[in-house]
A and B are shown apart, each in its own frame.
Chain A
Amino acid sequence: MIEIHDLHKDFGDLKVLKGVDLKIKPGEVVSILGGSGSGKSTLIRCINGLEKITSGSIFVDDFDVRNKKDLMEIRKRCSTVFQQFDLYPHLSVLDNIALAPINVLKQNKKDAKIKAMELLRSVELEEKASVYPAQLSGGQKQRIGICRALAMEPNYLLLDEVTSSLDPEMTAEVLVILKKLAKEGITMISVTHEIGFAQEISDRIVFLDEGKILQNLSKDEFFSDEGGKSDPRIAKFLSKMGNQ
């Protein structure tokens, strides 16, 4: 379980998160929506400790993000997929996937590579195992990014606009994989601009507005006219994103 309580995050004078309360239960798929600059990425980056929180608390399976030792444990349990892929350029696809399991989880090299190969097969990229990231298309890179995250067998998958740098065709090939994962019951926190995708996979939608949670509703409620859409800010956001 991820428990976020009264989370504040400032960058100098700029207050980005202003008291966020959020609980995510195992198995839940939560999509975080919100306008540009509302603090979605910052929220994700606070969970995996890439940003130091200003005040409040985040606990992941009772590990405290503010505690250095706990943070290492949290990072083993939460894997992130990044918008810009951020694969390790100097390593082959297979090594990209196996590096953290070998060095962080101390898995046996051979087993880690066998598992990496299985993951590659699941995203239909096993023939790319020995290729370097620079030789892949964006969609392929992101499928590898997902494999790299899954190789850690994380309890939580954090996704920050993982299709935003992809064209529609590549977006589709990545979304297919994520939908499958969502169905398999992995816990997912996904920041996305793909409203249709959020609607399809999510159990819950969290709408962030200027650093605060404006709505935290079950998917059906969020997309109903009496629920989320009754809020003019959400209605405006959804219509802007091309969802009527």
Chain B
Amino acid sequence: MLDPAVMMEYMPAFWDGFIVTAEVSILSIIGSFIIGLLIALLRISENKVCRFAALFYVDIFRNIPFLVLIFFAYYGLPEVGIYIDAFWTGCFTLSIAVAAYVAETIRAGIQNIDKGIIEAAKSFGFKRVQIYTKIILPIAITSSIRPLGSVFINLILTTSILSAITLGELTSASKIIASTTFRPFEVYMFLVIFYGVLTFALSAVIAGWHKYLNRYNEA
């Protein structure tokens, strides 16, 4: 009954779904990284209000199920006159939600930096901004590449939830193929392998990148 040949016919449909998944993933990784970095900086700001606002952000978005968030954005917001298509709704909500995790990861990276190094930089007369751009962020980001990698792999897996708002990404493409072929076993087996390969490949890339960026730590 297992018939992989069925799959070949539907390769183009899979491929279209994959492209959408890839696009949403890439845009959301970039988006969540930028927002997350800003939130992380607010989290360690000297200003109490900024710190509180950032903590609030992190707590909120880590404690709302993503499915609820995406329903709210896609079906709820139009009620108040905000219309965004499924693709961009996916990108925005993913970026905003995952940014909470990115922020916590980068913050941990920043707080792990030896205080002496930052004081040394201060003593040499670097301005605050320079200390961040030349010292703190490069060290924090390279040291958190691995945990950031896990966050982004999770992001890619979470894109499958976007099938709930009828975005034609990989999972919803598979749903359609499964219902037209009546071969859910093969189709979803294929999907499982596909996500597996995708995240495995990304893990490998991250491991290599981690090694390259952290070459300075090798004694």
Contact = CB atoms under 8 A, between A and B. Distances in A.
Given A100-B126, A135-B218, A90 B142 contact: yes
B216 A89 contact: yes
Nearest to A47: B123
Interface of B: 114, 116-117, 119-127, 130, 134-135, 138-139, 142, 215-219
A142 interface: no
Contacts of A91: 216
Contacts of B117: 86-89
Binding site secondary structure of chain B: helix
B124 A152 contact: yes
Given A99-B134, A134-B219, A75 B124 contact: yes
A99 B125 CA distance: 11
Contact of B134 (A87, A89, A103): A103
Contact of A75 (B123, B134, B216): B123
A38 to B, nearest CB: 21
Contact of B217 (A49, A79, A89, A152): A89
A80 B218 contact: no
Interface string A153-194: 000000000000000000000000000000000000000000
A134 B216 contact: yes
Interface of A: 48-50, 72, 75-76, 78-80, 82, 84, 86-91, 99-100, 103-104, 132-135, 148, 152
A79 B116 contact: no
B125 A76 contact: yes
Contacts of B139: 88-90
A104 B126 CA distance: 6
B122 A90 contact: no
Contacts of B218: 132, 134-135
Nearest to A103: B130
B135 A132 contact: no
Nearest to A131: B216
Given A82-B116, A103-B130, A90 B124 contact: no
Given A86-B114, A90-B216, A103-B130, A50 B124 contact: no
Contacts of A50: 119, 122-123
Contacts of B123: 48-50, 75, 78-80
**A-B interface, 10 closest residue pairs, ranked by CB to CB distance from nearest:** A75-B125, A132-B216, A86-B120, A86-B116, A100-B124, A104-B125, A48-B123, A80-B123, A76-B125, A86-B117
Given A82-B120, A88-B120, A99-B134, 15 more contacts: A48-B123, A49-B122, A49-B123, A75-B123, A75-B124, A78-B123, A79-B123, A79-B124, A80-B120, A82-B116, A99-B124, A103-B130, A103-B134, A132-B216, A148-B124
22 contacts: A72-B125, A79-B123, A80-B124, A86-B116, A86-B119, A88-B121, A88-B135, A89-B217, A90-B138, A90-B142, A90-B216, A99-B124, A100-B124, A100-B125, A103-B130, A132-B217, A134-B216, A134-B219, A135-B219, A148-B124, A152-B124, A152-B125
Contacts of A135: 218-219
Nearest to B218: A134
B125 to A, nearest CB: 4
A132 B122 CA distance: 21
